[in-house]
């Protein structure tokens, strides 16, 4: 059994694309794709319960999916992996808002379900998990949900890069710093590499994963999934 993150790499985009609503209601397709992937992860890890590979039974991952249709950009995420839009001028627009347990709307949702948000070094669901939405994390259902937050943006000619990264980056590198590092490079792969190295150099101790998407290039329907760090 692969981890929740590895499974998302294999399945998430395909699950989104297969949704009947993908062309007319892409936001709905993204939501359903996340929920379907979550269910598949939960089903596939049932065999791990009570055996040596129990870690996978309780595994979870954050996720970000970026989808384009013409000039429209749809960003869906669950967890604290983040996406930002970098403009040619260096201006930065946040495309996601981290799903932290102490975010007022997330705290209210968890408490309404009978769960608790406890401070243990950082704010955690049931004193355990530092994110309030994720794929998997069976033991914290129904408080930790896989339903993504989906936002729609209209691309402009001044948009240069989308940077998507795990919290291992954002713990030490600000949105503005990531944007400036990305703009130093014409090659998005080189930009991603420098952001990753900068996060590590600044002392990040968490999983580090970065993707930089060049909006000037041709972009297929489902750009990519970044199945970041296991929760």
Amino acid 55: pLDDT: 56
CA 121 to chain centre: 22
Residue 153 in contact with residue 72, Cβ under 8 Å? yes
**CA 112 centroid distance within chain:** 24
- For the entire predicted model, the pTM comes to 0.88
**Ordered structural domains, the chain, with CATH:** 4-226 (3.60.40.10)
Query: How far apart, in whole angstroms, are the C-alpha atoms of residue 138 and residue 74?
Result: 27
**Using one digit for the tens of pLDDT, what is the confidence trace for 77-134?**
999 999 999 999 999 999 999 999 999 999 999 999 999 999 999 999 999 999 999 9
Q: Indicate the range of 24-28, 32-36, 41-45 predicted with least confidence.
A: 41-45
Q: How far apart are CA 76 and CA 150, in angstroms?
A: 4
> What's the rounded mean pLDDT across residues 58-65?
92
Q: What is the pLDDT of residues 144-203, one digit of tens each?
A: 999 999 999 999 989 999 999 999 999 999 999 999 999 999 999 999 999 999 999 999
Mean pLDDT of the chain: 90
Q: Where are the beta strands (DSSP E) in 48-194?
A: 60-61, 63-69, 72-78, 82-87, 92-94, 117-120, 122-125, 135-136, 149-154, 159-165
d(CA 102, CA 204): 22
Give the pLDDT of residue 44.
82
pLDDT at 223: 43
**Mean pLDDT across 194-214:** 95
What pLDDT is recorded for position 48?
A: 54
């Amino acid at each position: 059994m692969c981890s929740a993150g590895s499974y998302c790499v294999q399945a998430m985009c395909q699950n989104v694309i297969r949704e009947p609503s993908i062309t007319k209601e892409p936001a709905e397709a993204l939501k359903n794709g996340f929920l379907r992937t979550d269910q598949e992860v939960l089903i596939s890890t049932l065999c791990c319960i009570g055996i040596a590979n129990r870690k996978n039974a309780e595994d979870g991952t954050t996720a970000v999916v970026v989808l384009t249709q013409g000039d429209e950009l749809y960003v869906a995420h669950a967890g604290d992996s983040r996406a930002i839009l970098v403009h040619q001028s260096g201006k930065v627009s946040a495309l996601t808002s981290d799903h932290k347990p102490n975010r007022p709307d997330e705290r209210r949702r968890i408490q309404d379900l009978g769960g608790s948000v406890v401070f243990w070094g950082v704010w955690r669901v049931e004193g355990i998990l530092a994110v309030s939405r994720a794929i998997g994390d069976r033991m914290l259902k129904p408080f930790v949900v896989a339903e993504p937050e989906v936002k729609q943006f209209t691309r402009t000619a001044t948009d240069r890069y989308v940077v998507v990264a795990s919290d291992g980056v954002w713990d030490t590198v600000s949105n503005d710093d990531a944007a400036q590092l990305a703009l130093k490079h014409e090659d998005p792969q080189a930009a991603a590499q420098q952001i990753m190295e900068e996060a590590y150099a600044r002392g990040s101790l968490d999983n580090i994963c970065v993707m930089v998407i060049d909006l000037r290039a041709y972009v297929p329907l489902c750009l990519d999934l970044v199945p970041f760090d296991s929760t």
